[in-house]
Structure 1
């Protein structure tokens, strides 16, 4: 019969107290039950742990050797229990996140900072990659979750999709700051910053200009919208960009330095998704962070709708 943790704990208490009755009180059992457990333990081990003389227990040399083994085993078990308690409380473990550029500088780090409060033993890996690379990383289970542009559905990925409207960003003193809504006609021929040619947002933006019969003047071709904020602030161009980039600018910039952010019509959308591996069960900490991320995206959409409504 294998030894049990209860047997080891009881034996340790007998050795520590030197008394069956005191050990019984410590472990919350009756004295006969502890005596029987010690006797059963000796029978299983095949040697005596105590010499019994006039009702007094004297440990044998083998008992001291066995105590060292018990202490080592029970210490490991107790450490494991403490670790599992921290994991259960989301205070320990690992969280691996892959994030696309738009959310990697402000949006996600800001959320992570709040999430990590009180979780000093939680290890986080946060990398920035392009959305197509993130898709493959999540499908191959290299990361717990990804936040990226919406991919085509595939069985190896679970995704929660959001369709976010793009906004128009102009220099702080731009004459169009009094307009509530910006249209392609307002920007006819004006220098603009946009993403590289085959990106979906760039294609949709150029399409609405073409359908409106006005010229889209792409002065700056970008890999991400983030550097475009600097060009806009300098008065070098305007930009139709994703909501997360605009929201991040509002969070960081002093009110006096904020750019003009207005609703753009016809609507141009940019999809983002929370991605998790399709063939793996997410950890507790991963599920908790995803829940916070979903709330944060919802709060951002509500806030930006209020900003755009104010004009």
Structure 2
């Protein structure tokens, strides 16, 4: 049967309580209302429905068959409303919801999962979609509003994306037992003709590194060409090469991915930049959940940067 759209939540609650208790007086006590108010509520409900729900005989209410059928509908409606209320309450308390995150490879193996683990520690009802994608694809996914949060290499500004940018610097990864590990700062002259692990030629760090070597008149000798810096840490740890890599990869390695694997990091000069950004769609407001996660992510990027500066400062 169709339920009129102007039925109120209070009418449905009152009707259910009358059916449960079997009398106006008991329903009034349970609801904390007066008997006349409950009677008026039931009469108004019957007017809206267009038929009688109860027979009134000698001061007693007897449910008609229509009332018993309507009770099933009423229970279903109230159950959905109560579930909706619980869900909305959970959302407001960051206890429910779905967070869709796209992350570039450098941060997807350790850094961002670590931040996400901390964020979810007191939010067991949150569902998460975490996808590793290239930075260029993340930019498009955020611009088209397919994901809530992106963490990627900094794109060119565009109207469809809000971004918080971080200007990080690259560091030099060195085998722990190598002679260069004793030096506080590494320069192209130190790596002149030495074997390197580098990213593909189109990447900004590759171009910056080549330029630094050219300006210093030093030989640039790539041994490994990589899609991401992370596997290069194993090659460095094995003494096969050196690597000028982004700060997040270095921090992830030192913080836990391969702690004690025989790699140390040192500042590299001239400075080679590695910019990353927290990205969100600009044409729709972020949920409370995504905003809270973005706030934590930005804070943890700053914490990571401070930790790495301390580590690098100790070498100088």
| CA-CA distance at 1:271 after TM superposition | 0.5
> What count of residue pairs does the alignment treat as equivalent?
311
Matches of 1:303 and 1:310, distance apart in 2? 11
Q: Spell out the pairing of 1:1-311 with structure 2 (5 A cutoff).
A: 2-253=6-257, 256-311=260-315
- Partner of 2:176, secondary structure, is coil
Matches of 2:78 and 2:127, distance apart in 1? 27
Matches of 2:11 and 2:225, distance apart in 1? 72
Q: Structure 1, residues 252-281: CA drift from partner, whole Å, max 9, x if none?
A: 156543411111111111110111112122
Matches of 2:27 and 2:311, distance apart in 1? 68
| CA-CA distance at 1:235 after TM superposition | 0.5
| CA-CA distance at 1:94 after TM superposition | 1.3
Matches of 2:43 and 2:99, distance apart in 1? 48
Structure 1 length-normalised TM = 0.96
- Partner of 1:184, secondary structure, is coil
**8 A contact 1:233–1:259 mirrored in 2:** yes
Matches of 1:232 and 1:96, distance apart in 2? 34
Query: How large is the Cα RMSD of the aligned pairs?
Result: 1.5
- CA distance change for structure 1 residues 258 and 116 in 2, over 3 Å: closer, same or farther? farther
- Partner of 2:190, secondary structure, is helix
- Partner of 1:58, secondary structure, is strand
Structure 2 length-normalised TM = 0.94
**8 A contact 2:103–2:138 mirrored in 1:** yes
Which blocks of at least 5 consecutive residues in structure 1 are unaligned? none
Matches of 1:230 and 1:194, distance apart in 2? 13
Q: Structure 1, residues 104-147: CA drift from partner, whole Å, max 9, x if none?
A: 11111111122222333322111111111111111111111111
Which region of structure 1 is more displaced relative to structure 2, 22-31 or 148-157? Answer: 22-31
Matches of 2:138 and 2:73, distance apart in 1? 48
**8 A contact 2:142–2:150 mirrored in 1:** yes
**8 A contact 1:250–1:258 mirrored in 2:** no
- Partner of 1:197, secondary structure, is coil
Which blocks of at least 5 consecutive residues in structure 2 are unaligned? none
**8 A contact 1:249–1:258 mirrored in 2:** no
Runs of 4 or more consecutive aligned structure 1 residues displaced over 4 Å after TM superposition: none
